[in-house]
Each structure stands twice: as structure tokens, then as C-alpha cells.
Structure 1
Amino acid sequence: MSQACAVQGSPGQGFNEFRRGLIRSLPMAAAMVPFALVLGAQAIQKGLSVFEVPLMTGLNFAGGSEFAAVGLWTSPPHVLLITAITLLLNCRHILMGATLTPYLARLSKRRAMTALFLMCDESWAMGLADAEASSSNVKRRVFSVLYYVGCSASLYVTWVAFTTVGAVIGPTLGDVDRYGFDMAFPAVFLVILRGMWKGYRAARPWLVSLLAAVATYLLIPGAWYVAAGASAGVVSAYVLGVEK
């Protein structure tokens, strides 16, 4: 018997599952709106156009790397640095996608790739949490693909739409940093880290990443401290994991 299974359901049941995902994701979508507005406004201030902002957020549906890219944006842009940072920050999606592989294996390649393209931290977590809630027995858990797609679609449309709105109204807002909005995204990541806290031993890669980033910031000009911190964290997590 497989460890878990995925369900799509009949057309009527499928629509109900999709709608359930949409409804459940509304509070999360509402929480994304301020961040989307800030990102759009910051992107416009860095020289991106109103057309380029939704193009960026629509093709690279990952807020953390988009904030990092906009923060590093110059004229002309440091393409290699921005690409490296985006890859490092988004590499967690490789592992997240791997956890969904058993559930998406029976879908056609086109549908599976669409589901993975729409994946973000929030929809991934909501989809797996819903599967866990279906049964306390791991072997009996059911992953609702259409529920997950409903969550993903809601968050995707909200993100792209409101980053575009932020780009449109950005010039009227002026420097958004003066309102303290730039601290919103770091604050969210601190909350996420708190939820991931498993003890001091498991947090050692965090400390290595922090020290590497600080040292690079002090010694090397530019934004290479982001790449240094991310790389050091990944390497230390592997090394310390092997030690166990």
C-alpha cells in the first residue's frame, strides 16, 4: 500500500475541493497584500516599469527572492549576482517539490508542472497540512490536488495583482521605507523561523549562515553577503546533518 494518495474527485466534487482551497486561502491572501504593494512600489522606484513588475512576479512566484532581486537592482543590474541570489533563495523549492512528487505522480506532466509552478511556501504548507488532517495514520492520508490548486491559484492571483497595483501607485507613495514597510518581510521570516525552531542543535546552520553573512558584509563591498550567508547555511546543514 502506498504511503499516501492523491485525489482529484468527480467534476462536482473537484469544484467543491477547488472552492474549499480558495476559501481557506483567503486570510493568507489578505495577509500577502501589504507585502505585494511594497514590492511593487519598491520595484518601480528601482526603475522597473509597470509592465515588468507583474512579469517578474508572475514568472518567478517567490516573494523572498523577488524582494532580494529588487533590493539588489541597479542600472545596469548585476545579473549574475541577482541570478545567484534567486537560485539560492529558491533552492528550498526543490525539496518542497520533492515532497509533493508521490501525490502528483499520477497526473499528466502538464498538470503536474502547472501545480508545481503555482507552488509557494504557503500553498505547499496548506496542502500538506490538509493531508495530515485527513488522517492521523500516515498511510491513510489523502492529498487533495484540487484543494491545493485552489489555495495556489488564490495566492498567485493576489500576489501578481497587488504587486501590479503597488507598481501603479508607487510613485504617489514616495519612499516606502520611511513608513517602515521594509521591515514587514523580515518580520514574517522571523515568525517562520520561530515556527521552525527545533532546538539549538538544529539551529546551528542558522548561526553559521548569520556569521558568514555578517563577515562578508563587513569585508566585501556589495550584496555578496546574501549569497555567502545562504551558501554557508546550505553547506553547514549538509555537513552537520552528515555528522549525526
Structure 2
Amino acid sequence: MKQGFYSILPFAVGAAAYGFAFGVLAAQSGFPWWGVALMSVAVHAGSSQIVAVDRFAADGLLIGAVLAGVALNLRYLGIIASLGKILKDVPLRWKLLAIHITGDENWALTMARNARDPAIGIRFLIGSGLTLIVTWTVSTSLGALIGQSIPNLASYGLGFAFTAAFIAMARAMWRGRQDIAPWVVSFMVTLLLVRLELESAYAILLGSLAGVAIAAITRRFQQRRTAR
């Protein structure tokens, strides 16, 4: 388990940033911090939690929020099915725990490691999964606590759907510390364009392109330094 715990830490950093932002958004949509924490422990799926909170904030119907979250989580049926070899001959209680704490990041990392070394299996999956669920729950709860005491982001042009889309995109782009600069540039450019009243979709697109440009420049600079 220890190997899984340490191996997933770079991905957990990205999940923490994503989770904190989600917690702020959820709190400003009317969710109490303890509700956000409970959702993070029980659901443990960032994208479906965003959709559920967005639906609830839009019409106040709990059933609509639940159905939206469940629909988005159906992709996990395929993910769990792919773990059949790893979960084989594992006691039921460990299977249930592994299934619950399996997310996109630790599933992909476990499958990649298992392909190279068949000895990597359930212990690695659970260790990495525990790291992610603890990180996610703490970061979303902290974001919700702070979100209750800061100005509403909507007043800055950062509505729930827009901000959720941005942080989901940024999380998908995260590969390590080298992506911090592109992240910051993407956010600042996007925020500036939104403040200038550019359509949100175009602001995200142009902000993303600015981040990609910074990433390309940084990578070229590093290659030149390595070549010297």
C-alpha cells in the first residue's frame, strides 16, 4: 500500500487544487461544508459532484442532481470491469473498498504499473485510492469552509458552470509541477477576458491557448538548457 500512497502524490496535488475550487463553488451555491465533505466521501467523483451541484443550484431539485451525478458516473462500470484480474480472489470487503475509492487517476496508474509488473495489484490500488479520497475530501471541505467567507465569484464573472468547466479542463492538463506556470497563465488570461466581457467559452479557449503557448516555450527553453 505504501508504494501506491507515494506514487499517486503528484496526481493528488492536482486533485487538491481541483477539490478546493469545487468546495468554494459548492459553498457559494448554498451547500454547507459538512454536506460537501459528506458528498466527497460518499460519491468521490469530481465531475459528477460538479454536475450534481450545478443542477441543484439551477432548480433546487435533489432528484435531478442525483440523477445527473449517477448518469455521469456510469463510465465507472467499464473502469471496474477492467479491474477484474486485479480484484480476482480478493475478499469481498476489500473489493468493495477498492471499488469505492477507485478514481480515474489511481485506476490509470494501477493499470499502467500492473502491465509492467503483474505483482502490482490490489494493495497498490487501495493505497493510491486512500490517498486520493482523503486528499479530495479534505480539499473540498476546506474550500467550502473558506468559500462561505469570501465574495461570491459570480460577481467577478466566474459563474459556477464556467469555473467548473475551467478547473475540470485544468485538472485534465495537469502532469506535474512543470504545469504550474501554464495553469497560472491560463487562469489569469481567462479571468481578464471574462472581466472584459468576452463570451465565457471563448475566454476559456483563448486562456487555454495562452497556457499551451507558455508550456511550449518552457519546454523549448528546458530542451536548450539540457542540450548545452
Give the TM-score normalised by the residue count of structure 2: 0.68
Moved over 3 A (4+): 176-182, 186-192
Where is the helix percentage greater, Structure 1 or Structure 2?
2
Report which stretch shifted further, 122-131 or 74-83: 74-83
- CA distance in structure 2 between the aligned counterparts of 1:89 and 1:189, rounded to whole angstroms: 16
- CA distance in structure 1 between the aligned counterparts of 2:168 and 2:120, rounded to whole angstroms: 30
- CA distance in structure 2 between the aligned counterparts of 1:111 and 1:84, rounded to whole angstroms: 27
Q: What is the deviation of 1:88? A: 1.5
Contact 2:55 2:68 in 1 (8 A): no
Contact 1:54 1:163 in 2 (8 A): yes
- CA distance in structure 2 between the aligned counterparts of 1:26 and 1:179, rounded to whole angstroms: 33
Q: State the aligned residue count.
A: 169
Q: Could you say if the C-alpha distance between residues 111 and 33 of structure 1 is closer, same or farther in structure 2, counting changes exceeding 3 Å?
A: same
Q: Could you say if the C-alpha distance between residues 191 and 162 of structure 1 is closer, same or farther in structure 2, counting changes exceeding 3 Å?
A: closer
Counterpart of 2:207 in structure 1 is none
Contact 1:123 1:152 in 2 (8 A): yes
- CA distance in structure 1 between the aligned counterparts of 2:152 and 2:172, rounded to whole angstroms: 23
Counterpart of 1:174 in structure 2 is 151
- CA distance in structure 1 between the aligned counterparts of 2:131 and 2:37, rounded to whole angstroms: 16
Partner deviation per Cα, 1:11-48 (whole Å, 9 max, x = no partner): xxxxxxx1111111111111111111111111111111
Does residue 71 of the first structure (1) align with residue 48 of the second (2)?
Answer: no
Counterpart of 1:119 in structure 2 is 102
Does residue 102 of the first structure (1) align with residue 69 of the second (2)?
Answer: no
Contact 1:38 1:176 in 2 (8 A): no
Unaligned segments of structure 2, at least 5 residues: 176-228
SS state of the match for residue 33, structure 2?
coil
Unaligned segments of structure 1, at least 5 residues: 1-17, 135-140, 193-244
Does residue 93 of the first structure (1) align with residue 76 of the second (2)?
Answer: yes
Give the TM-score normalised by the residue count of structure 1: 0.64
Partner deviation per Cα, 1:86-139 (whole Å, 9 max, x = no partner): 1211001011001112221201111111110111111111110110122xxxxx
**Percent same amino acid at aligned positions?**
24
What residue identity is the alignment partner of 1:161? V
- CA distance in structure 2 between the aligned counterparts of 1:179 and 1:162, rounded to whole angstroms: 24
- CA distance in structure 2 between the aligned counterparts of 1:190 and 1:78, rounded to whole angstroms: 32
Matching of residues 139-154 of structure 1 within 5 Å: 141-154=118-131
Q: What is the deviation of 1:79? A: 2.5
Contact 2:113 2:120 in 1 (8 A): yes
Q: Could you say if the C-alpha distance between residues 64 and 163 of structure 1 is closer, same or farther in structure 2, counting changes exceeding 3 Å?
A: same
